Structure 1
Amino acid sequence: MSSPEFPPVRAAGRGAAWYRGDCHVHSVHSDGELTPEGLAARARAMRLDFIATTEHNAAAKPGAWGHLAADDFLILLGEEVTTKTGHWLALGLAPGKVIDWNHQTGDGRVGECLDQVHRAGGVCVAAHPRAPYPSGDFMFPFPGFDVVEVWNGLWASDRPWNADNEAALAEWARTLAADVRTGSWRPAMGNSDTHLEGQIGIPHTVVLAEELSTTAVLAGIRAGRSWIAESADVDGSFTAHADDRAAGLGERLATHGGQVEIRAAVRGVPAGTISFHTDRGRVHQALLPDDGAGAVRWPTTAEQSAFVRIEVRHPNGHVAALTNPIVLV
């Protein structure tokens, strides 16, 4: 039987579960050094459940990816829309679909391009908003985009976390207080931006999805039911509890004016720190033990905290994981 030209939009997966994926990768079909076969093999070795093809200004080539999908490995179709005033990811495109990249800040055309992706059920991601090279610095306004790539691992082989990611994280974090209150906040995600050997999956996004399918994964990303990990060696659980009610990342917890307990459990970050952040900035920090496995609980209220998000850092200050917020109402 011949292999499909394009990967299926659904894999068997594990049902409703947390799935790990890298939604920003480049192959030899744009400016990457690895073949699709090489990328898929390395993604699976990094314990990823899905990847997205995001060649620069080009659709996934027929026959290049379809044979690499599996019951436990989903391949989404996408594009890195590479303009003169910033790059963005169009995720969840139909086979052969290309989004026009001939637009820039001030010409009024980006909205039309975003609408094309949204009409197809896709997700638009502001990519590496503080990348230190021509056209990499993201100059478009964030409204209209669904997600911000706050952690980009292009230099991951020698610098898993750098000042450009720190600046992108700080910019995104500053917008949360106002955006959460209006219900229009944009989730964060992290991707490797793989071009070279040794980059894929560093970092990646861990998404709560109803199934391992393009639609379900994108729904989880769009809703912010996700967190970012530097590798599959880092694992965590992040929830908020009020009486008999609980909420996870990207969700709203009705507190009825009572106390809330934020719970974070992390593995894989020896001697690291867990910090809790709200609309008041960083409000609490705790140390992880030398074996890297620890749990922290912190009390608050909706009056004190419109949301809570969590950062996990190594002793040198580099991020190992960070979450989207849990909104308290």
Structure 2
Amino acid sequence: MPEPGSQPPPVAGRGRGWYRGDCHVHSAVSNGAELTPERLAADARAAGLVFLAATEHNTVETHAAWARQADDELLVILGQEVTTLTGHWLALGILPGRVVDGRYGVRDDLIDRQLDEVHRAGGLCVAAHPHAPYPSGTFMYPYQGFDVVEVWNGQWSSDVPWQADNEAALAEWGRGLAADIHRGRWRPAVGNSDAHLAGQIGTPHTVVLADGLRADAILAGIRAGRSWIAGSAAVELSFTVSAGERRAGIGELLETGGEAAVARADVRGVPSGTVSFRTERGEAHGVSLPDSGTGVAQWQFSAAESAFVRIEVRHRDGHMAALSNPVVLA
């Protein structure tokens, strides 16, 4: 068991693979509800997650309690939700007990200093719920300096996991993706529950391709965009793009060599849903899934049509079931 103030240990014996986790989680310290780190860790395991990030509001006083929840089945990443006057952001992978200052707003020109501090410690900076439906939660900072954007946040959507603020955040991120790729630095998307109440954790969560179940490996996978977002553990997704003998997965670059490309999505757990292939021009191709919820969707296209392709999987009512980061094309 880790000592107070120490980093939680990695999960031994877990090599490269896809790992499900929730990087935005609160205990009673943040919200007054009867949620302890112990209860949330148990709920994370029950939800099919193997990692979570502790992100209390402007405090790290529970870091030691969170670290004690790590075991052979659950990785705990230490973090903080930095709640400023004009938006919230997540500092993930910070040092034990280290508080990140949030006493400023967009006009104070102080946020870059805080982002640099987290980056120097090897941490990850996430723009949280950019279109949250309350004044201080609406994100007013430019994304420059942030590593990742939280496009799907579940805090306000216990009954309906996909709401208008998520649709707005996804649209904003999607509109800027082509220009960011052209400039050589695009920011991946993540999804988190922002759990404040029992039953919220894991709805949604991020599925990350990492070299191991360690904090540094998980954060590296998220930073590189090797991830997709799931509404629940019942949803499974595989997405690749190939050209000739070459193939690339989510977050990777595919050199097409001028050959036609084929995008393929294998989906489970979305009965009568839809798969849409999306480029810089929006939805380029759509496929319906069978009643069983298990199906394969394919689309053949030319790399000249777009700098990337990503997918969205929606339930029959239009609510999101899963979405991916892009495969970048050259």
TM-score range, shorter chain: over 0.9
Structure 1 residues 180 and 157 mapped into 2: Cα distance closer, same or farther (>3 Å)? Answer: same
Contact 2:9 2:70 (8 Å CA) reproduced: no
* Range 68-77 or range 186-195, more displaced: 68-77
Q: Deviations over 1:268-299 (max 9, x none)?
A: 00000000000111000000000100001111
Give the Cα–Cα distance (whole angstroms) in 2 for the partners of residues 311 and 161 of structure 1.
Answer: 13
Shift of 1:72: 2.1
Q: Is it true that 1:16 corresponds to 2:16 in the alignment?
A: yes
Residue 196 of structure 2 corresponds to 195
Contact 1:81 1:101 (8 Å CA) reproduced: yes
Structure 1 residues 234 and 68 mapped into 2: Cα distance closer, same or farther (>3 Å)? Answer: same
Give the Cα–Cα distance (whole angstroms) in 1 for the partners of residues 101 and 158 of structure 2.
Answer: 31
Q: Larger % of helix: which?
A: 2
Q: How does 1:160-175 map to 2 (within 5 A)?
A: 160-175=161-176
Secondary structure in structure 2 of the residue aligned to 1:220: helix
Secondary structure in structure 1 of the residue aligned to 2:178: helix
Contact 1:272 1:314 (8 Å CA) reproduced: yes
TM-score, with structure 1 as normaliser: 0.97
Contact 1:46 1:232 (8 Å CA) reproduced: yes
Shift of 1:153: 0.1
Structure 1 residues 123 and 243 mapped into 2: Cα distance closer, same or farther (>3 Å)? Answer: same
Structure 1 residues 178 and 3 mapped into 2: Cα distance closer, same or farther (>3 Å)? Answer: closer
Structure 1 residues 170 and 62 mapped into 2: Cα distance closer, same or farther (>3 Å)? Answer: closer
* Range 302-311 or range 8-17, more displaced: 8-17
Q: How does 1:55-70 map to 2 (within 5 A)?
A: 55-70=56-71
Give the Cα–Cα distance (whole angstroms) in 2 for the partners of residues 322 and 62 of structure 1.
Answer: 31
Shift of 1:148: 0.4
Residue 290 of structure 1 corresponds to 291
Q: How does 1:2-81 map to 2 (within 5 A)?
A: 4-5=3-4, 6-12=6-12, 14-31=14-31, 33=33, 34-81=35-82
Give the Cα–Cα distance (whole angstroms) in 2 for the partners of residues 13 and 136 of structure 1.
Answer: 39
- How many residues align? The count is 328
Shift of 1:13: 5.1
Residue type of the alignment partner of 2:18? W
Contact 1:4 1:63 (8 Å CA) reproduced: yes
Residue type of the alignment partner of 2:29? H
* Range 298-307 or range 114-123, more displaced: 298-307
Give the Cα–Cα distance (whole angstroms) in 2 for the partners of residues 14 and 313 of structure 1.
Answer: 31
Residue type of the alignment partner of 1:47? G
Sequence identity (%): 62
Contact 1:276 1:283 (8 Å CA) reproduced: yes
Residue type of the alignment partner of 1:83? T
Secondary structure in structure 2 of the residue aligned to 1:200: coil
Structure 1 residues 298 and 306 mapped into 2: Cα distance closer, same or farther (>3 Å)? Answer: same
Q: How does 1:76-155 map to 2 (within 5 A)?
A: 76-155=77-156
Shift of 1:139: 0.1
Q: How large is the RMSD of aligned CA atoms in angstroms?
A: 1.1
Give the Cα–Cα distance (whole angstroms) in 2 for the partners of residues 37 and 212 of structure 1.
Answer: 20
Shift of 1:29: 2.0
Shift of 1:62: 5.0
Shift of 1:81: 0.3
Shift of 1:61: 2.4
Secondary structure in structure 1 of the residue aligned to 2:180: helix
Give the Cα–Cα distance (whole angstroms) in 2 for the partners of residues 129 and 215 of structure 1.
Answer: 25
Residue type of the alignment partner of 2:254? L
Contact 1:50 1:75 (8 Å CA) reproduced: yes
Structure 1 residues 36 and 244 mapped into 2: Cα distance closer, same or farther (>3 Å)? Answer: same
TM-score, with structure 2 as normaliser: 0.97
Structure 1 residues 153 and 62 mapped into 2: Cα distance closer, same or farther (>3 Å)? Answer: closer
Residue type of the alignment partner of 1:251? E
Structure 1 residues 62 and 328 mapped into 2: Cα distance closer, same or farther (>3 Å)? Answer: closer
Residue type of the alignment partner of 1:15? G
Give the Cα–Cα distance (whole angstroms) in 1 for the partners of residues 320 and 13 of structure 2.
Answer: 29
Q: Deviations over 1:215-243 (max 9, x none)?
A: 00000000000000000000010011111
Residue type of the alignment partner of 1:206? V
Runs of 4+ in 1 over 4 A off after TM superposition: none
Structure 1 residues 76 and 293 mapped into 2: Cα distance closer, same or farther (>3 Å)? Answer: same
Contact 1:60 1:77 (8 Å CA) reproduced: no
Gaps of 5+ in 2: none
Residue type of the alignment partner of 1:16? R
